[in-house]
Structure 1
Amino acid sequence: MRVSSASAAGSAHKPNEDFLAVSPRVALVLDGLTSPPELGSGCIHGTPWFVGQLGTQLLREATCRPEVPLIDCVAEAITRVADLHRDTCDLTHLGTPSCSIAMVREGTHTVDHLSIFDSVILLDGPGGLKVLSDLRVNGYAQQEHKETTQHQIGTSEHQQAVSRLVAAQRPYRNVPTGYWVAAANPAAAHNAVTGSVPRSEVTRAAILSDGASCLVEDYELTDWAGLLDLLETQGPDEVISRVRQAEATDPSGERWPRYKASDDSTAVFCLLDGRGTRRPVVRRRGA
């Protein structure tokens, strides 16, 4: 794969809780779930530490063991990171650090994909455009979500509404009847959205945290095909730039109600068919 990527924090005052990593055949994006301070997390390390540890372990597993299904790679990575802090942190806390996972792995005959929570994977080529995500969370705490849209970003009312939303969602997190995130329970891997697409049907792919996919999903400033074209022709930095431009025109969330004025934004773009990597043919005189 030929890969380009970019990631930017949503605020200069907070660390980026997204994480991206790539190897020659694997690309992944993790998007940490922000925990309102008043709700606690039971962890002394924090979300940026967690996503960095999990992303590193996951890239290692998926790259070094290409014959192992992505589900098992994710389960092993989650277990290893949990082992790193189970003696110092309360991993049973409902707010223990967690994140989404979206990843693709190019094999000889297939392109495998895995999603946990709301980051987006795009696969495009002769097989058509596929949009892959895990939106099971949308089935919970709908009234609390609606309440967040009724207040301007930056007000105490909005912050309190977001905290109530997170508190209402947490009891449904990582339980059989709820939705799943990558945290301390490897069972999340076995509840991921997964699949494989024939290698011949994919020529380009993208992985987006919701801080980048919002250009389509929330702001509706392009469609998925247009976003892929933008990634290919102008690069991931341009996608993030356009997200920031949109956010700057609506800082209080009146046009586009949302949880934050500006979210961490990450985009990874992959070319799988070798476009742009061919060396020019040098014709010698007399040939």
Structure 2
Amino acid sequence: MSVTLDSQPGQPDQPGRGNEDFAAVAPGAAVLLDGAGVAGAETGCTHGVAWFSATLGGLLLSAVTAHPVRPLADCLADAMTGVRALHGGTCDLVHRASPTSTVVAVRVGADAVEYLVLGDSTLLLADGDGKVTAVTDRRLDDVGKRLRGPVDALPTGTPEHARALAEYREALTGLRNRPDGFWIAGPDPRAAEHALTGTAPRTSLASVSLLSDGATRHVDRFELDSWEGLLSVLDASGPAEVVQRVRAAEDGDPEGRRWPRGKAHDDATAVHWTLTT
């Protein structure tokens, strides 16, 4: 098996904001998380979003590898419980903007590939003929489409856009981890019960790829390629090339006039795992 990984912050020059994505790989397992929240103390968490996604990701990878027959959703719930115990005594975990994260997890066994997706990150399952199945939790996107009209109508980076974006995020927070909204990893481990899970025969797959929504922009927001095209880039040039192409598109539309979006540049992470027999 061969694994390549690249993760780049969307705003490397912005003080106090690092990469809130996290990805890690161990023998037989891989995880990717995309943290969300308002940076700093406004989250109610003294540690911050990057700490949350990295800590949850590390505990999740440990659980997935240490308990190879435990369902991935249960591993995620265990990891969320562990993170809660680590900062429940110092942080306000009921704060409206407490850190959250999307999650993609994969466990590759001798006969089957197990997967879990929660939130708007994406898993690509590719067969030997190059056919791609994209597994994405669309519930957050569906809620966003109902709410983000005022955001998309304004140039990215303007004060008006910033105000509309804050109002949008406030409305989104009110629908977090609710049946009429969307589900995301946060303080409540019960959210893991709502993750999308499944298995695929090990012999049917040539590769699996885990991508944050910053990396999938090239396909699902910019519409500059298909999933099969993205897979070809991953196979030929690796995750770093995918991120570079996203950055080029973002740089060419800094105000979001061609492609309306909340952030001109987003953290972007891709993991490409080639499965060999």
- Asked whether the two chains share a fold, i.e. TM above 0.5, the reply is yes
Q: How does 1:101-250 map onto structure 2 within 5 Å?
A: 101-126=103-128, 128-140=131-143, 142-250=145-253
Q: Which residue of 2 aligns with 1:6?
A: 6
**Cα distance in 1 between the residues matched to 2:39 and 2:174:** 15
Report the Cα offset of residue 129 of structure 1.
2.0
Check whether the contact 1:212–1:240 (CA below 8 A) recurs between aligned residues: yes
The runs of 5 or more residues in structure 2 that have no matched partner are: none
CA distance in 2 between counterparts of 1:67 and 1:205 reads 20
Tell me how far 1:110 sits from its aligned partner. 0.8
Q: Is the 8 A contact 1:126 1:200 kept in 2?
A: no
Residue 30 of structure 1 aligns to which amino acid in structure 2? L
Q: What percent identity do the matched residue pairs reach? A: 41
Q: Which stretches of structure 1, 4 residues or longer, exceed 6 Å deviation after superposition?
A: none
List gaps (5 residues or longer) in structure 1: 275-287
Question: Deviations along 1:226-267, whole A, 9 cap, x unmatched?
Answer: 111101111111111111111111000000100111000000
Residues 192-227 of structure 1 show CA distances to partners (whole Å, capped at 9, x for unaligned) of 000001111111111100000011001111110111
| C-alpha separation in 1, matches of 2:267 and 2:174 | 25
Distance 1:210 1:241 in 2: 14
Q: Secondary structure at the match of 2:148?
A: helix
Task: Return the match for 1:64 from 53, 66, 73.
Answer: 66
Cα deviation, residue 141, structure 1: 5.4
Q: Helix, strand or coil for the counterpart of 1:111?
A: strand
SS across alignment from 1:63: helix
Change (3 A) 1:173 1:125: same
Q: In the alignment, which residue of structure 2 is the partner of 1:277? A: none
Q: What is the rounded CA distance, in whole Å, between the counterparts of 1:255 and 1:138 in structure 2?
A: 19
CA shift, 1:140, in A, is 2.6
Q: Equivalents in 2 of 1:79, 1:270: separation in Å?
A: 28
RMSD over aligned Cα, in angstroms?
A: 1.5
The 10-residue stretch of structure 1 (128-137 or 203-212) with the greater mean CA deviation from structure 2: 128-137
Instruction: Tell me, in whole angstroms, the C-alpha distance in 2 between the residues paired with 1:141 and 1:4.
Output: 31
8 Å CA contact 2:43, 2:97 repeated in 1: yes
Distance in 2 between residues matched to 1:48 and 1:9, nearest whole Å: 11
State the Cα distance separating 1:148 from its structure 2 match. 0.5
- Within 5 A, what are the aligned runs for 1:34-113? 34-35=37-38, 40-113=42-115
- The 1-side partners of 2:242 and 2:100 are apart by 25
When residues 247 and 233 of structure 1 are mapped into structure 2, their CA distance, relative to the original with a 3 A threshold, is: same
Question: For the pair shown, which has the larger CA radius of gyration, 1 or 2?
Answer: 1
3-state SS, counterpart of residue 7 of structure 2: strand
CA distance in 1, matches of 2:147, 2:175: 14
